[in-house]
Structure 1
Amino acid sequence: MRWFENVGRFVFGTECLGCGGVAERLDPWLCPDCIKELERESKAGVSPGGDAYSLFPMRPLTRRLVHALKYGGIPGMATYLVRHSSAVRGGFIGEELSMFPKPLYFVPVPLHRARLRERGYNQAEKIASALAVVVGGRVCRWLRRKTFVVSQTKLSKEARERNVSDAFECALPKELPVRGTVVVVDDVFTTGATTSACIAAFGHDFPLPIKVCTLIYDEPASVTADYVADCRMEWNL
């Protein structure tokens, strides 16, 4: 009967992306128990430091979901996670975002065109779009990636900084807004090397305050699974 169960999971989509179990009801990807766990994690919004904020800590559940977004071809997961985060549920991150000078300009970390072809979409842009909808603001593509860099996922903090150094450049409008807050958006914050490189691209004399908001905060020591996923994608090209 094992084959029948597997076919049923494929046809009816009853396998929870969180725990892998079969459930009669999914919402639309998680079983009731995993939804409750996600809601608990949403209350733990974290600040990696400085002006950086993350909607979720990296946990087994949130890791699986961000991998589904980043590697599994499920762009809708960005909106799902943002809507279930403390950004819209009265938590710490929502309070912080509400105090930023308005309007908010959500600037996604750009992908190199080769990586964009590989994945089909920029997950940071999907997250930025979801944030703009739920908290108010607009998505601004004010950064360009100049160079293709190797995966960050198994590099030290110093190696990450070298890897993304000078990787981005500004693509600002001719008439820059005179008020508001730029929020650089990415999927995962580990050491902050990528978002710091993005902030540096704006220059020291940039007139607007710049913050960082990521979907997940990942401790730098726990990135092996990301490295494996990146390698798998590269070998499958």
Structure 2
Amino acid sequence: MNLIRSMENFVFGAECLGCGRASERLDPWLCPGCVAELERVSKVTLFPGPDVYSLYPMRPITRSLVHALKYKGVSGMATYLVRHSSAKISGVVGSELDLLPKPLYFVPVPLHRARYRERGYNQAEKIAAALAVCADGRVCKWLRRKTFVVSQTKLSREERERNVQDAFECVLPKEMPSRGTIIVVDDVYTTGATTGACLAAFERVLEKGNFGGGLPVLKVCTLLYDEPASAIADYAADCQMEWDAD
């Protein structure tokens, strides 16, 4: 264990991935203060849409950790975040998943081959695997990306929707189950353009098929929800009120 911790400190510089400060008490990525902050934000209940679950709001700490997952090669961050989320600890999303028809099929949003070569893995697959362990489901690669799209991060809502329109196709097994729940998994939910395009791909195929009197339920689960600015401002005001009351 000490050898592993020493190697981690060498690779990551013994700096907290949340605040960036040096610490000898990392777990292995966060200092105690950032662990407490992550636990705090994990208790925020988020349902961006009627069929959408998000495990965390977009906050400085969660943004930093997902950035490490996507761009710094810290693939284990997916499991770390899921284990510290309401899918596991506080139980809000976990309770919702328990109520869904079983079995649960976690379907990651696919990366284009070019981006996969850049990162070495698909972060959505890592998240889906962690969710499958927590919720006793399985990972199914039933989506394929047809076109290369530019990054969604700086696009407007309308531009995001056009960018991913018809970008995905559904590749189902020959013996598709007529029950259970298909959960599309991604890292961040902003406007819902990407996951919406994935759901549309499933709907096109499922509506044409013959599934013996039933169709799987379709849902979405993401690590983060990038809330509107007004919601973030309200959260900041609430935090200030709690601080003043202490």
Residue 177 of structure 2 aligns to a residue in which SS?
coil
Aligned-partner Cα distance in 2 for 1:55–1:106: 15
Task: Tell me the equivalent position of 1:16.
Answer: 16
Aligned-partner Cα distance in 2 for 1:220–1:42: 18
1:37 maps to 2:28: no
- Give per-residue Cα distances to partners, 1:68-127, cap 9 Å, x unaligned: 001111100000000000101133211111111111000000011111111110000000
Task: Tell me the equivalent position of 1:232.
Answer: none
Specify the code of the residue in structure 2 equivalent to 1:103. Answer: P
Q: Over aligned residues, Cα RMSD in angstroms?
A: 1.6
Aligned-partner Cα distance in 1 for 2:14–2:167: 42
Task: Tell me the equivalent position of 2:61.
Answer: 61
Distance verdict in 2 for CA 1:176–1:47, change over 3 Å: same
- Give the superposition deviation at 1:202: 1.0
Task: Tell me the equivalent position of 1:213.
Answer: 221
Give the TM-score taking structure 1 as reference length.
Answer: 0.87
Task: Tell me the equivalent position of 1:178.
Answer: 178
Q: How many percent of aligned residue pairs carry the same amino acid?
A: 74
Residue 115 of structure 2 aligns to a residue in which SS?
helix
Aligned-partner Cα distance in 1 for 2:39–2:108: 25
Task: Tell me the equivalent position of 2:146.
Answer: 146
Q: Which runs of 4+ in 1 moved over 2 A?
A: 9-13, 219-222
- Give per-residue Cα distances to partners, 1:149-178, cap 9 Å, x unaligned: 000011111110000000000110000012
Specify the code of the residue in structure 2 equivalent to 1:40. Answer: R
1:50 maps to 2:58: no
Task: Tell me the equivalent position of 1:166.
Answer: 166
- After superposition, residues 219-230 of structure 1 pair within 5 angstroms as 219=227
Specify the code of the residue in structure 1 equivalent to 2:219. Answer: K
- Give the superposition deviation at 1:13: 3.6
- Give the superposition deviation at 1:65: 0.2
Give the TM-score taking structure 2 as reference length.
Answer: 0.83
Q: How many residues align?
A: 214
Whether the 8 Å contact between 1:69 and 1:76 is mirrored in structure 2 is yes
- Give the superposition deviation at 1:221: 6.1
Distance verdict in 2 for CA 1:90–1:145, change over 3 Å: same
- Give the superposition deviation at 1:219: 2.7
Residue 97 of structure 2 aligns to a residue in which SS?
helix
Aligned-partner Cα distance in 2 for 1:29–1:84: 13
Task: Tell me the equivalent position of 1:113.
Answer: 113
Aligned-partner Cα distance in 2 for 1:131–1:54: 12
Whether the 8 Å contact between 1:191 and 1:220 is mirrored in structure 2 is no
Whether the 8 Å contact between 1:187 and 1:215 is mirrored in structure 2 is yes
Structure 1 unaligned blocks of 5 or more: 1-8, 223-237
Aligned-partner Cα distance in 2 for 1:68–1:176: 36
